[in-house]
Amino acid sequence: MLAKKIALNTIISVAGRVLSTGLALVSIGLLTRSLSRADWGEYSIMLTFGGIFAVLADLGLYQYLVREISREGADEREIASQVFSFRLAASLLIFGAAPLVSLAFPYSAQARWGIVIGMAGFWFLSGAQVLMGVFQKHLRMEKVALAELAGRLIQLGLIWLAIELQLGFYAIVATFVLSAAINFLLVWLMARWRVGLHLSFDWPYWQKIFSVSYPLAISGVLTMIYFSPDSLILSIFWPAETVGAYRLPYKILESLIFFPAMFVGLIMPVLSKTAFNDRAKFKQVFQKANDILVMLALPLVAGTFFVSPQIVDLLGGGNYPEAAVILNLLMLAVGVIFFGSLFSFGLIALEGQKKLLRISAWGAIFNLAANFILIPKFSYWAAAATTVLTELLVTILMLAAIKKISQFRPSFSVLNRVLLALLPMAAFLFYFQQSNFVFLISGGGLIYLAALYLTGAISLGEIKELIKK
C-alpha cells in the first residue's frame, strides 16, 4: 500500500513539474518576443538576484523541517509553525536587503526597481518552499506540484494580458509576484489544514533551529556560489542585453537538471539503506543508475547540437541567434550534472557530507576566480565554459571521494554501446535538421531507443528491476 502511494505521489509530482516547466518555457517565449533585448536582460537580472538571495534565505530550514517532524513523537504543529515563522521573518530581511545590494551594481533605474518588485515574489516562493517539508513527510507532494502548476498557469495568463494591454516592464515583473503569491496562498492553506499551521515568534526557539540548520545553509551557499554567480558577474561587466542572451539558454539548463535529481531521488532510499548494510547491493544499484544516466545524458547533449538553433528560435523569437552556441556549451554542463546528481547523493548515502562540503568549497573558489578573470574579456562564452569546467571539477572530485570511501568506482563500459546507438540518431538529425522541430525530436528519440535496444545496452526488465528496488 505504501509503495503504491509513493509511486502515485511520484508520478503526479513529476507530471506536475513537467507541465510547470513547459508553461514556464511558454512564458519565456512570450517575454522574449514582447520585451526588448535590454528589458529581457533586466528581467533576467531580477531573476538572478532573486535566485541568489533565495539560497541565502533558505538557511537549511527545509531539510531541518523534514528531519524534525519525521522523528517519533514530534510535535509537528509546533515545529512546522516555528520553522515557517522563522523563514518568513528571516527571508523578509534578506530579500529586503537585495535592492540595497543592487545599488552597488551598474544597473539602470528600471533594473533596480524591477528587483524591488520582484523580491516580493521570491519572498512568497521562499515561504511556500519551506512548507514542502510537511507534504513530503505525508507523501502528498502532488499537492505542492498542483499549487505550482496553478501559479504557472496564472502567470502565463497575466503575462499574456500585460502584453496585450501593453502595460510595460513593471507589470511583467508584477505577474511573477502575483503568481508566486497565489502559489504561496494555496500551499499555506493546505499546510494549515493538514497540521494546524500558525504564526509563532519565539526567538530562543529560532536560535535553536539555526544552531542545527546552519551547516546545511553553508552547504547551500557554497553550491550557489559554484553554480549561480556567472549571470551576476556578467551583469557587472556587460550590458543587460548580454545577460539576457546568456540567461535564455541558461533557463533551459535550469529546466533540465530537475530530471536527474528526480531520478536519483527515487533510488536514494535504497542507496542509504544499503550503503553500509549491503555494500554489494549498493554497488549494483549505483552501477545500474549510472548506466541509465549515461543513456539519458548522451543523447540529450548530442541531440541538442543539431536542434539548438530551433530551440533558441522557439524560446527567443529569433532575437537571440547567438544563444544557440551558448546552449551547446551549457548542454555539456547538463550532461555532467546528470552524473553529479548521482555522485552527490551517493556521497550522502555513504555519510560523506563533510567531503561534499569541501568539494563544494573548491568548486566555489574555482568558479568565482575563473568568472572574474575571464568574463570581463570573453563575456558569456567565458560564463558558459566556466560552468562546464566547474561541474566537471566537482563531479570528478565527488567520484574520487566515493572511490576513497567505498573502494568502488562505477564502470562506464556501457558507453561504447550508447555511442553506437547515437550514430543513427545523429545521422537522422543531421540529414533532416531543417525539418519540423517536433519531427526531429520524436524521430530522433525513437531511432535512438531502437538502436539502444539493438545494441543490448539495457533491457526493459533491468529498468523495472531498478525501480522495484
Looking at the predicted structure, is the pLDDT value of residue 391 above 70? yes
The one-letter amino acid at 299: P
| Average of per-residue pLDDT across 185-201 | 85
pLDDT value at residue 458: 66
Could you identify the residue written with the cell 517532524?
69
Q: What is the dihedral of CA 259, 260, 263, 264, to 10 degrees?
A: -150
| Average of per-residue pLDDT across 36-41 | 93
Of 99-113, 197-211, 443-457, highest mean pLDDT:
99-113
Same domain as 250, residue 369: yes
| Average of per-residue pLDDT across 46-70 | 83
Same domain as 247, residue 383: yes
Looking at the predicted structure, is the pLDDT value of residue 253 above 80? yes
pLDDT value at residue 461: 63
Looking at the predicted structure, is the pLDDT value of residue 125 above 50? yes
Higher pLDDT, 57 or 111: 111
- CB neighbour burial string for 373-393, b if at least 16 within 10 angstroms, e if fewer: ebbeeebbbbbbbbbbbbbbb
Residue 286 main-chain phi, psi, to 5 deg:
-60, -45
pLDDT value at residue 13: 67
Residue of 254, 239, 51, 24 lying closest to 153 (CA atoms)? 24
pLDDT value at residue 42: 95
Looking at the predicted structure, is the pLDDT value of residue 354 above 50? yes
pLDDT value at residue 2: 46
Alpha carbon distance 92, 77 (integer Å): 22
Parent domain of 267: 228-469
Same domain as 403, residue 300: yes
> In the predicted model, what is the mean pLDDT of the chain?
86
The one-letter amino acid at 365: I
Same domain as 138, residue 98: yes
Same domain as 128, residue 95: yes
Same domain as 267, residue 242: yes
Could you identify the residue written with the cell 547540437?
305
Looking at the predicted structure, is the pLDDT value of residue 369 above 70? yes
Query: How many other CB atoms are found less than 10 A from the CB of residue 240?
Result: 24
Same domain as 352, residue 221: no
- The string of DSSP letters for 360-424 reads HHHHHHHHHHHHHHHHHHHHHHHHHHHHHHHHHHHHHHHHHHHHHHHS-----TTHHHHHHHHHH
Find the helix packing angle between 353-406 and 229-237, rounded to 10°. Answer: 120
CA distances from 383 to 141, 266, 300, 328 (A): 35, 32, 21, 13
CA distances from 97 to 174, 322, 357 (A): 19, 34, 27
pLDDT value at residue 386: 95
- The C-alpha cell at 257 is 537538471
Alpha carbon distance 467, 343 (integer Å): 18
Given 191, 226, 261, the domain boundary residue is: 226
| Average of per-residue pLDDT across 339-349 | 87
Higher pLDDT, 182 or 406: 182
pLDDT value at residue 116: 96
Same domain as 353, residue 314: yes
Gyration radius of the chain's alpha carbons: 22
pLDDT value at residue 462: 57
Same domain as 315, residue 341: yes
pLDDT value at residue 373: 96
Same domain as 327, residue 209: no
Same domain as 59, residue 167: yes
pLDDT value at residue 394: 93
Looking at the predicted structure, is the pLDDT value of residue 128 above 70? yes
Cβ atoms of 277 and 411 closer than 8 Å: no
Same domain as 218, residue 83: yes
Given 200, 226, 252, the domain boundary residue is: 226
Given 174, 193, 226, the domain boundary residue is: 226
- The C-alpha cell at 220 is 547551500
Structural domain count of the chain? 2
Coil vs helix vs strand at 103: coil
Residue of 133, 121, 47 lying closest to 91 (CA atoms)? 121
